[in-house]
Amino acid sequence: MVEIRPTTDEDLEVFVDTLHAAFGRFPETPGEDGGGVWWSALEMERNLLALAPDGRPVGTAGAYSFELTLPGETVVPVSGVTAVGVVPSHRRQGVLTAMMRHQLTELKGRGEVLSVLLASEALIYRRFGYGPATSTQRMTVRRHQSAFADPRAGTPAPGGSVELLRRADGGAVLEEVYDRYRRTRPGALSRPPRWWALGAGQPPVAKAPRHVAVHRDADGNPDGYASYSLDGETLTVDEIITADDAVFAALARFALDHDLVDKVVFKHVPPAHPLRYRFADYRAAEVSNDTDWLWVRVLDVPRALTARGWLSDGELVLDVHDPFFGERGRHLLTVRDGKAECVPTDRDPDLSLDVSDLGSVYLGGTAPSTLVGAGHIRAHHTEAAGLADALFRTERPPHCLHWF
Ligand SMILES: CC(=O)SCCNC(=O)CCNC(=O)[C@H](O)C(C)(C)COP(=O)(O)OP(=O)(O)OC[C@H]1O[C@@H](n2cnc3c(N)ncnc32)[C@H](O)[C@@H]1OP(=O)(O)O
């Protein structure tokens, strides 16, 4: 059996070496350009090493300290699980399972409500109770097709402006705009100050050259930015950050109006993004790379359900099974005026579901009826799925464009 132990700053080199062995890449030195920025953002006091009986390190798992925005604009602390790897010689022997048990038990013990991660492969994490909770898409637009149906959309509001920032000048502005945005968007994560200081808060997580355009309102206050790069005739937008759809349109227009550019790639947009409907030609935007992004693991069902906000009133009895911890609980969820109460009950359930499916529907990114249709969630009567859809829905789909 393996021994799992927490790491300290002194373990950074062995941690990085082990993780690189797991991913099959030659070790690079933390602090170099590129991946080095990401390595230096690791919180070594929160990471784990798995050691074989002979003391050799064979596995790694890490956690970042983030805040996650829930429906209803509530913000909760979450651990962002990262840097998970087991060296090829020790795979399929339960090393990851041992690390997950150690980590999830510790997170529960700390009183955390949820844990999140981005999965390298979609078959790995459901068994540990994580479910895919947000998705993201790529939108590619040919510039010559990109006229907006309403040509006035896309110009900044009267008195507003779009200005190109030198990256060195952008730090505080971007951090502030991002922070305001992420508090309004379910599924968005905080970017710790240390990430911004390292330059890691500006995607990609590297010091590669990027251009940044900032949008300001009529009073000169920044309320959105676009980070992008140019390669030949392709302009790639890493992210447009704003809580305002009109500002998004203005920044998208700015990207689309670049001379010498043939196509503009918006790397991360939520499903059904309004931008697609701005174009006079609906087919101007080609959507691809529709993929899962943030996975959510509910650690405390009643606290998770009462932490988020709700749009509709209603009642639902959920029978939630957590096979990884061998737990099952029946919960009466009652929503009134946007707030929920959740208490144990012995009433007949409306729905029976696995904790990973609760993770998938929790942020509003997947309708419970979809998972009933997929045979994941069991509806105990004909109205149950519709009732759950009405309760869990959110005004906007959750979205996370943070890579970690
Ligand atoms: C949040 C992140 O950091 S994502 C990054 C994840 N890391 C990687 O992708 C790096 C390359 N891969 C690896 O290092 C390893 O294969 C890991 C970490 C994914 C899995 O580690 P292992 O120690 O082999 O997992 P473990 O032995 O505990 O497997 C538990 C179960 O999951 C299954 N499993 C594990 N990995 C996979 C996978 N990639 N695909 C399908 N099933 C998997 C195993 O078959 C096993 O199933 P069983 O209980 O039915 O027998």
Is 225 one of the catalytic residues? Answer: no
Please report the pLDDT score of residue 198 as a whole number. Answer: 66
Three-state DSSP state, 7: coil
3.40.630.30, 3.50.50.60, 3.20.20.100, 3.40.50.300: CATH of 136-290: 3.40.630.30
Residue ranges, comma separated, of all CATH 3.40.630.30 domains in the chain are: 3-112, 136-290
pLDDT digits (tens, 9 = 90+) for 80-132: 999 999 999 999 999 999 999 999 999 999 999 999 999 999 999 999 999 99
- All CATH 3.30.1050.10 domain ranges of the chain, comma separated, are 301-392
Do the annotations mark residue 92 as ligand-binding?
A: yes
What integer is the mean pLDDT of 48-73?
Answer: 97
pLDDT for position 220:
95
Give the pLDDT confidence score for residue 24 in this predicted structure. 86
Report, at the CATH architecture level, how domain 301-392 is classified: 2-Layer Sandwich (3.30)
Q: Band of the pLDDT at 325, cuts 50, 70, 90?
A: very high
Across all residues in the chain, what is the average pLDDT? 93
Is the pLDDT confidence value at 200 over 60?
Answer: no
164: left (phi over 0), alpha (psi -120 to 50) or beta: beta
Superfamily of segment(s) 3-112: Gcn5-related N-acetyltransferase (GNAT) (3.40.630.30)
Q: Whose CA is nearest to atom 1 of ligand 1?
A: 82
Confidence of residue 35 (pLDDT cuts 50, 70, 90): low
pTM higher than 0.90, yes or no? yes
**Residue 204 has what pLDDT?**
43
**Cα(125) to centroid(ligand 1), Å:** 8
- List the end-to-end C-alpha distance of the chain, in Å, as a whole number: 29
Would you call 43 exposed, middle or buried from its count of C-beta atoms within 10 A (0-12, 13-18, 19+)? middle
Residue 115 contacts residue 133 (beta carbons within 8 Å): no
| Alpha-helix runs per DSSP H in 213-294 | 245-256, 275-278
pLDDT digits (tens, 9 = 90+) for 143-172: 999 999 998 888 988 889 999 987 667 778
In the predicted model, is pLDDT for residue 202 greater than 70?
no
Which of 60, 84, 123 should be mutated for ligand 1, with most atoms under 8 A from CB? 84
Share of the chain above pLDDT 70, in %: 93
Confirm or reject: Cβ of 21 under 6 Å from ligand 1: no
Specify the range with the lowest mean pLDDT, choosing from 59-68, 225-234, 299-308, 314-323. 225-234
Catalytic residue among 125, 148, 178, 254: 125
Rounded to an integer, what is the distance from CA 198 to the centroid of its chain? 20
Please confirm, yes or no, whether 248 is among the known catalytic residues: no
pLDDT at 27: 56
Whole-number Å distance, alpha carbon 127 to ligand 1 midpoint, is 10
3 state SS for 315-349: EEEEEEEECCCCEEEEEEEEEECCEEEEEECCCCC
How confident is the model over 165-197, as pLDDT tens digits? Answer: 876 677 788 899 999 999 999 999 998 877 777
User: What is the structure's pLDDT at 207?
Assistant: 56
- pLDDT by residue (tens digit) across 383-400? 999 999 999 999 999 999
Query: Does the pLDDT value for residue 320 go beyond 90?
Result: yes
